[in-house]
Each structure stands twice: as C-alpha cells, then as structure tokens.
C-alpha cells in the first residue's frame, strides 16, 4: 500500500471534516489519554515534595516559614495558569472516563448501534460538568 | 474494461518498422485524433455553457492519473458537466462523462446495481459505492477520487491485490469434517444460526471498509474489516464444527487479527451493505478471549 503519487490535500489533515463520531471519539480518547499520562508525572513530582516535608524541610513562603509540601501546593494554586489548567484537566479526565465507559460497552457488544449517540452524550456531559466546576476552581483567582 | 487508446501501441510498432516517414495511415490517424480532440473540447465547452444557463447539470471533478502516458503522470482533476436526470447515480454520471467527453476515463464497474462491488470510490470525501450513490443527495461539485490507502493504477482504478490477499488469508469458504449420517443427507443450518450470520454473508468485496480503516492504512498486516467479517461468517456457522472453528479462531486471534481493531466504526459507517462490521469484530474478540480463558 505504498503511496507513490500525491493526491494533494486529500490524504492530509483536511480529512478531519469527513470524520464520523466514532473516529472523533477515538481521537479524543487518545488525546485525553496522553494528557492524563503527562499530568501523572507532574502530579508525582508535586506530591514527592512531601518526602522532604516529612523530614521537616521548610521553605520561605509569603514571608513566613512553611513546610515544603504545603508551600509548593499553595504557591502553585496561586498561579492563574494553574487554576485554568485544572479546569482543563477535569474536562479531560471526565471525558476519558465517560468515553472509557462507552468503549467498555462497545467491547461487551452492548448498544453498538447507538455508539455515536453515546459519544455525543459523553461530550455534552463533559461540557456540563466542566462548566459546573468553574466556580469551584476559579473562585478568587481573578 | 480497458479504455486505453490502442493507437499508441500501433504507433510505436509502425515507427519501428518504417523509420521517420509518416505513412498515409499515420496522417489519417493524426487527423482523426485532432478532429476528435476538437470535437471533444467543443462539446465540453457546449456543456459548460449549458451548465451556466441551465441548473439541471451536475459538475463532476474527477481524479485523473495515468502513469503510462506522458503528460498524464501528474495527478489532476478534470471537470465534467453532466445533464442531470432523475435518479442519476455517480456511476451514471461517470459513464456519461466517459461516453461523451473522454473515452480514456477509467473506472471499474459491472452490474450497476450494488451487487458486484466493483465501483467503490471516494466520493465527496467518503467511501461510497458509485452505483448506489444518488447525485441528488450530494453537494456539488462532486469530487470523485480513487479509494484512499491503495495504490492508484489509473484514474479511479486502484490495486486491490493486497485486499484480496487479506480475504484469502481467512480461508473464505465453507469447511467441515462433521458430515451428516446418510450419504444424501443435507447439511442443515438452524434458522437462528442463519439469522446470526445473515448480515455477514452480504459482503460484496468492494474494499470500501478496508480503505476507510485507519488501522489497516498504517498496518499492512492487519486483516481488515472485510476479511474479519468473512471469518465471522464461517466461524459462527454451526455446521462447520468445533475443529474448524478452532482453526478459524487461531487465524483471527493472531497479533494482526481482530486485536488491531480500535473500534473507530469507520468501516461500519461506509459499508454499502450495512454490515455491522465493528459488532462482528467485537464478537470475535470475545470469542477469542473465551477460547483462551482457562480457570484451572
């Protein structure tokens, strides 16, 4: 199946307009999966500051001395970018969970005729949950 | 099928025989070709005019490529204006274009009623059976291209050798070693079992699913939806018996068998026969798991 000719824009990314629900679900699932793996590493990095904190390591934070773990968390939460990224992280995690459930049903052979509807449902639900989470994550950030 | 003009081979033979001097026949043919080209461009211009005046014409943009003719080796799109008639399919429009404007336009077709599976094409960005696709349902201009992820031989004709190899690989024919007692006894299938394999028997080997599959495009060894569907048709047939079913499962549960499927549902979307391909692949995955599960 070698491609010895060039069909211009047909074989490239402009194809996305022709994608169907199942293909979008697959792309989003891959994307959110990689984002979650990336998050896992930063998560471990932040949590690992608890190790020196347990031994009594401290840092200067806003003029007073706090332990390293609390200082790191509080200073991260103080960044507007981190607050916004947290909303994104929730959206990514929720979609991955809902679509994962959808894929589980697909693997069990349940409701394959409605696979596009369940994808749209998981998208809408993700949107709703993300919007609902905004007040909690962004409160006091601006 | 071949619409390659025979003049080319004749021409080369003759120039070999009687070097430079152009024969009467050559001149005549040259003249004929010139006039045909004139006629063609005149008709095309006429048709384009008609298109401007009258709304009942269809604009077709057709992929053209011919590696054997210099000047056609660079892929391009040709535009054809075809008078629209009620119930016209993409295949009808292509045949009209070939018969009226350019006899070198090449595409496969045979039965024209969605049975032979020869004319799967990429129409407006989707794998469609040209004879089953109504023009009235398409946005214009209609882009007709050869199937993606297969090598183009000429115009809309792609090389399906690989597809057929994958189909062969699952042994797409009935096999059994469980025969009924009487010599003249029939091999009966229950109604329920027939119902189970019903949809999978409808495959017409058009290769639309294989072309739409993202995984098959990247993994040459992947059996592809059509072949797995064929395997399903026989693996689920109770008349084949346990031994043969075991053999079939061993084929489909290989590394590049059912497990490559990532349930993108592209094949199910494009299948002109509405075969629930993904469902069949998923069921074979479960069969494969059940086959290998051991609790002791």
State the average pLDDT for chain A: 85
Give yes or no: residues B167 and B287 share one domain. Answer: yes
Least confident of A9-23, B28-42, B116-130, B161-175: A9-23
Number of domains in chain B: 2
- Is residue A10's pLDDT more than 50? no
- What ipTM was predicted for this assembly? 0.81
- Is residue B84's pLDDT more than 80? yes
Give yes or no: residues B166 and B286 share one domain. Answer: yes
> Would an 8 Å CB–CB cutoff place B251 in contact with chain A?
no
> Would an 8 Å CB–CB cutoff place B25 in contact with chain A?
no
Please check whether residue B55 lies inside any domain of the structure. Answer: yes
CATH number at residue B132: 3.10.20.30
Nearest to A109 among B65, B220, B286 (CB): B286
Q: What percent of chain B has pLDDT over 70?
A: 90
Tell me which of B33 and B17 has the higher pLDDT. B33
Taking an 8 Å cut-off on Cβ atoms, the answer to whether B283 and A109 are in contact is yes
pLDDT value for B140: 87
**Contact residues, B window 191-250, toward A, CB-based 8 Å cutoff:** 214, 217, 220
| Per-residue pLDDT tens digits for A49-102 | 888 888 877 877 777 888 888 888 888 888 889 999 999 999 999 999 999 999
pLDDT value for B44: 79
Give yes or no: residues B76 and B131 share one domain. Answer: yes
Q: Which domain holds residue B66?
A: 38-154
pLDDT value for B260: 93
Q: What is the CATH number of domain A29-138?
A: 1.20.1300
Give yes or no: residues B88 and B48 share one domain. Answer: yes
User: Is A142 in a helix, a strand, or coil?
Assistant: coil
Going from N- to C-terminal start, the domains of chain A cover 29-138
pLDDT value for A11: 53
> Would an 8 Å CB–CB cutoff place B8 in contact with chain A?
no
pLDDT value for B11: 46
């Amino acid at each position: 199946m070698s491609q010895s000719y060039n069909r211009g824009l047909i074989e490239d990314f402009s194809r996305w307009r022709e994608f169907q629900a199942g293909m979008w679900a697959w792309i989003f699932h891959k994307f959110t999966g990689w984002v979650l793996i990336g998050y896992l590493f930063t998560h471990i990095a932040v949590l690992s500051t608890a190790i020196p904190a347990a031994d009594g390591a401290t840092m200067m934070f806003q003029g007073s001395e706090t332990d390293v773990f609390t200082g790191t968390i509080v200073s991260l939460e103080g960044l507007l970018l981190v607050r916004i990224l947290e909303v994104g992280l929730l959206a990514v995690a929720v979609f991955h969970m809902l679509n994962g459930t959808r894929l589980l049903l697909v693997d069990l052979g349940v409701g394959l005729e409605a696979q596009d509807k369940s994808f749209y449902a998981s998208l809408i639900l993700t949107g709703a949950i993300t919007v609902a989470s905004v007040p909690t994550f962004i409160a006091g950030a601006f | 099928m071949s619409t390659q003009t025979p003049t080319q081979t004749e021409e080369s033979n003759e120039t070999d025989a009687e070097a430079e001097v152009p024969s009467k026949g050559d001149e005549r043919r040259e003249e004929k070709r010139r006039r045909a080209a004139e006629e063609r461009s005149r008709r095309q211009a006429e048709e384009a005019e008609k298109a401007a005046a009258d709304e009942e014409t269809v604009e077709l943009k057709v992929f053209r490529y011919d590696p054997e003719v210099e000047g056609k080796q660079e892929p391009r799109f040709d535009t054809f204006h075809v008078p629209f008639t009620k119930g016209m399919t993409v295949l009808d429009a292509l045949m009209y274009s070939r018969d009226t404007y350019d006899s070198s336009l090449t595409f496969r077709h045979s039965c024209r009623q969605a049975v032979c599976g020869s004319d799967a094409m990429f129409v407006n960005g989707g794998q469609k059976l040209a004879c089953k696709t109504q023009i009235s349902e398409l946005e214009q201009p209609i882009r007709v291209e050869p199937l993606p992820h297969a090598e183009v031989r000429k115009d809309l004709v792609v090389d399906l050798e690989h597809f057929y190899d994958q189909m062969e690989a699952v042994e797409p024919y009935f096999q059994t070693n469980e025969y009924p007692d009487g010599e003249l006894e029939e091999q009966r299938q229950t109604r329920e079992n027939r119902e189970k394999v019903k949809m999978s028997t409808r495959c017409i080997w058009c290769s639309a699913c294989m072309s739409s599959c993202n995984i098959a495009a990247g993994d040459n060894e992947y059996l592809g939806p059509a072949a797995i569907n064929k395997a399903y048709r026989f693996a689920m047939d109770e008349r084949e018996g346990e031994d043969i079913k075991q053999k079939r499962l061993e084929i489909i549960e290989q590394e590049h068998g059912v497990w490559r499927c990532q349930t993108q549902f592209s094949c199910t979307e494009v299948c002109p026969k509405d075969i629930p391909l993904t469902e069949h692949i998923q069921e074979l995955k479960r069969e494969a798991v059940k086959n290998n599960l051991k609790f002791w």
